[in-house]
Amino acid sequence: MSKFVNNIDEFFNFCKQNEVIFVDFRFTDMIGTWHHITYNIHSIDKETFNTGIPFDGSSLQGWQPIEKSDMILKPDVQSAFLDPFTADPTIIVFCDVYDIYKGQMYEKCPRSIAKKAMQYLKDSDIADTAYFGPENEFFIFDSVKIVDTAHCSKYEVDTEEGEWNDDKEFIDSYNTGHRPRKKGGYFPVQPVDSLVDIRAEMVQTLEKVGLKTFVHHHEVAQGQAEIGVKYDTLVEAADNVQIYKYIVKMVAHLNGKTATFMPKPLYGDNGSGMHVHMSLWKNGTNLFYDKEGYGHLSQTATHYIGGILKNARSVAAFTNPSSNSYKRIVPGFEAPCILTYSCQNRSASCRIPYGIEKNSARIEIRFPDNTANPYLAFVSLLMAGLDGIKNKTIPVGPMDENLFDLTLDEIREKGIEQLPHTLRGSLEALIRNNAYLKPVMSDLFINDYQHLKFETQVWPVEARPTAYEFKTCYSC
């Protein structure tokens, strides 16, 4: 992300030049939700950036008890940018959370954990920089309806691109008949691609707030889209995901539509992922490149892959942290769950992109999705990869065949692990296997995180009957 200010003096000069009235301080909770508190510009000064902003930590899921609820937001002035949507000039500033009781950065603050991970990387002497390039896919719908009560549970999403609208009578328009249809949305031109203009508006807004984009296109599913944003260092890349999701949802909202990063909103069509590209650098040199290696990857990169795949079942508790995540990572929808690696092969969990050279050598992990808290997802991938480098872990593979064609017996015969098939499985893996995370995640954080996920995702979903269960069990 481009920086608009570099220090506190520049911040206040920037605010004056842009006639800023409000300062919006934002921070991220454990599940990845962006929160904010807004101050009149006249009520803050340079000292505010040192003393911080007080707030109630007990009102956030999984954070502080009510008897120890006072916390401090520490603004990161270099993250500031103008909000493109507010009626009055408003500047947004990312914040980290400070624990007044322990006198340290809060151990449950995802952004603080990400900063701790970057310091750990530098102290390890393995590398000094980690680059992350997430690919965030999303859906744009015309409407969504949700019912969740004791006697009724249903949802309905709609988009004019949906093939279910082939015979619909439109009140203010007409039925064009031009639709991508199931799994047919990859790169068609208008009028089949009906989202060109709204994606372009999203791109221009992202550029306006400092994100560098390079591509936008329709994705495979009906109503699905993707915008390519340039990679960045770990913390900044996670910041960019928060901005990206905010911009996409707000532009859709202001156009009378609704955008969602939910992994699997449509049954039988492709879901939305967050493929993550990664590389490690030291003293300006890409540690993942070796011209003679498989796919031009170095042994360091191979060990990094080995660490991720070895620990993937617990990593998934952070990269795929919703019950809906596991409805996406099933064979046949370009969302792999088979833990091996390959060149250009999108059926493998780790893909080595085509045509990489010295400065572009990287790996792509394909199973994460957008329900992930980006800070925690990137940290867990980094720490798993570093664990692989330290232990010289050799991944299973490479395997260049279509892995979706393999039967379960063939997968077992080849000795390939798979991701868990449920969030419960990932959380149980995290409970058993978390030593690689301990340098940056405390026991308290890991314990409270998995408890929060059980309480808000696993148990509520397991307790609810579904429409399909009525269809298959009602006449038993």
Distances (CA, A) of 288 to 49, 182, 234, 298, 312: 38, 37, 16, 5, 20
Q: Select which of 107, 193, 226, 369 is catalytic.
A: 226
126 in Cβ contact with 117 (< 8 Å): no
Number of domains in the chain: 2
Q: Does 279 appear as a known binding residue?
A: yes
Q: Give the pLDDT of residue 239.
A: 98
Give 201-269 as a 3 state SS string. HHHHHHHHCCCCEEEEEECCCCCEEEEEECCEEHHHHHHHHHHHHHHHHHHHHHCCCEEECCCCCCCCC
Per-residue pLDDT of the chain (476 residues; tens, 9 = 90+): 778 999 999 999 999 999 999 999 999 999 999 999 999 999 999 999 999 999 998 889 889 888 888 999 999 999 999 999 999 999 999 999 999 999 999 999 999 999 999 999 999 999 999 999 999 999 999 999 999 999 999 999 999 999 999 998 888 888 898 999 999 899 999 999 999 999 999 999 999 999 999 999 999 999 999 999 999 999 999 999 999 999 999 999 999 999 999 999 999 999 999 999 999 999 999 999 999 999 999 999 999 999 999 999 999 999 999 999 999 987 666 678 889 999 877 788 999 998 889 999 999 999 999 999 999 999 999 999 999 999 999 998 888 777 777 777 777 877 888 899 999 999 999 999 999 999 999 999 999 999 999 999 999 999 999 999 999 999 99
Question: Is 56 considered catalytic here?
Answer: yes
Determine the straight-line distance between the first and last CA of the chain, rounded to whole angstroms: 57
Distances (CA, A) of 475 to 340, 466, 470: 42, 15, 8
Residue 417 lies in a domain: yes
Specify the pairing of strand 81-82 against strand 90-99: antiparallel
117 in Cβ contact with 383 (< 8 Å): yes
Residues 6+ apart with CB under 8 A from 55: 37, 71, 72, 73
Report how far residue 476's alpha carbon sits from residue 473's, in angstroms, rounded to the nearest whole number.
5
Burial per residue of 420-433, b for 16 or more beta-carbon CB atoms within 10 angstroms, e otherwise = bebbbbbbbbbeeb
Q: Select which of 135, 193, 269, 290 is catalytic.
A: 135
Question: Is 67 considered catalytic here?
Answer: no
Q: Does 111 appear as a known binding residue?
A: no
Question: Is 19 considered catalytic here?
Answer: no
Q: Select which of 26, 216, 218, 275 is catalytic.
A: 275
Residue 314 lies in a domain: yes
Q: Does 161 appear as a known binding residue?
A: no
How many of the other CB atoms lie within 10 Å of CB of 358? 12
Q: Does 35 appear as a known binding residue?
A: no
Report how far residue 281's alpha carbon sits from residue 90's, in angstroms, rounded to the nearest whole number.
36
7, two tokens: 């220090």
Same domain, 91 and 184: no
72 in Cβ contact with 53 (< 8 Å): yes
Q: Taking Cα atoms as reference points, which of 22, 13, 59 lies closest to residue 44? A: 22
Report how far residue 112's alpha carbon sits from residue 440's, in angstroms, rounded to the nearest whole number.
9
Same domain, 404 and 355: yes
Q: Taking Cα atoms as reference points, which of 198, 197, 209 lies closest to residue 85? A: 209
Domain of residue 218, CATH code:
3.30.590.10
Question: Is 219 considered catalytic here?
Answer: yes
Report how far residue 351's alpha carbon sits from residue 346's, in angstroms, rounded to the nearest whole number.
6
Q: Give the pLDDT of residue 464.
A: 95
Report how far residue 302's alpha carbon sits from residue 289's, in angstroms, rounded to the nearest whole number.
10
Report how far residue 131's alpha carbon sits from residue 233's, in angstroms, rounded to the nearest whole number.
4
Residue 2 lies in a domain: no
Specify the pairing of strand 258-260 against strand 213-218: unpaired
**One-letter amino acid of 463:** A
Q: Give the pLDDT of residue 411.
A: 78
Same domain, 152 and 19: no
Residues 6+ apart with CB under 8 A from 32: 110, 371, 372, 373, 374, 375, 376
Q: Select which of 29, 107, 290, 364 is catalytic.
A: 364
Q: Does 271 appear as a known binding residue?
A: yes
Residues 6+ apart with CB under 8 A from 114: 234, 235, 238, 375, 376, 378, 379
Q: Select which of 45, 56, 123, 469 is catalytic.
A: 56
Same domain, 176 and 99: no
Q: Select which of 158, 346, 400, 448 is catalytic.
A: 346
Same domain, 164 and 85: no
Phi, psi of 57 (to 5 degrees): -80, -10
Q: Does 462 appear as a known binding residue?
A: no
Question: Is 275 considered catalytic here?
Answer: yes
Q: Which helix (H) or strand (E) holds 427?
A: helix 423-432
Q: Does 207 appear as a known binding residue?
A: no
Report how far residue 321's alpha carbon sits from residue 426's, in angstroms, rounded to the nearest whole number.
8
Question: Is 181 considered catalytic here?
Answer: no
Report how far residue 432's alpha carbon sits from residue 449's, in angstroms, rounded to the nearest whole number.
14
Domain of residue 77, CATH code:
3.10.20.70
Q: Give the pLDDT of residue 421.
A: 93
Q: Give the pLDDT of residue 476.
A: 94
Domain that holds residue 336: 129-474
Same domain, 217 and 347: yes
Q: Taking Cα atoms as reference points, which of 315, 391, 326, 392 lies closest to residue 350? A: 315
Residue 308 lies in a domain: yes
Q: Does 69 appear as a known binding residue?
A: no
Report how far residue 371's alpha carbon sits from residue 263's, in angstroms, rounded to the nearest whole number.
7
373 CB-contact burial (10 Å; exposed 0-12 / middle 13-18 / buried 19+): buried
Report how far residue 352's alpha carbon sits from residue 239's, in angstroms, rounded to the nearest whole number.
25
Q: Does 311 appear as a known binding residue?
A: no
Q: Select which of 137, 161, 290, 428 is catalytic.
A: 137
156 CB-contact burial (10 Å; exposed 0-12 / middle 13-18 / buried 19+): exposed
Specify the pairing of strand 34-40 against strand 22-28: antiparallel
Q: 């980690």: which residue's tokens?
A: 130
Same domain, 83 and 140: no
Same domain, 91 and 136: no
Residue 446 lies in a domain: yes
Residue 288 lies in a domain: yes
Same domain, 355 and 392: yes
Question: Is 362 considered catalytic here?
Answer: no
Same domain, 260 and 173: yes
Q: Select which of 219, 239, 387, 428 is catalytic.
A: 219
Question: Is 346 considered catalytic here?
Answer: yes
Residue 464 lies in a domain: yes
Residue 114 lies in a domain: no
Q: Select which of 216, 303, 366, 424 is catalytic.
A: 366
Q: CB-hemisphere CA count at 13 Å for 60?
A: 24
Distance of CA 56 to the CA centre of its chain: 26
Question: Is 207 considered catalytic here?
Answer: no
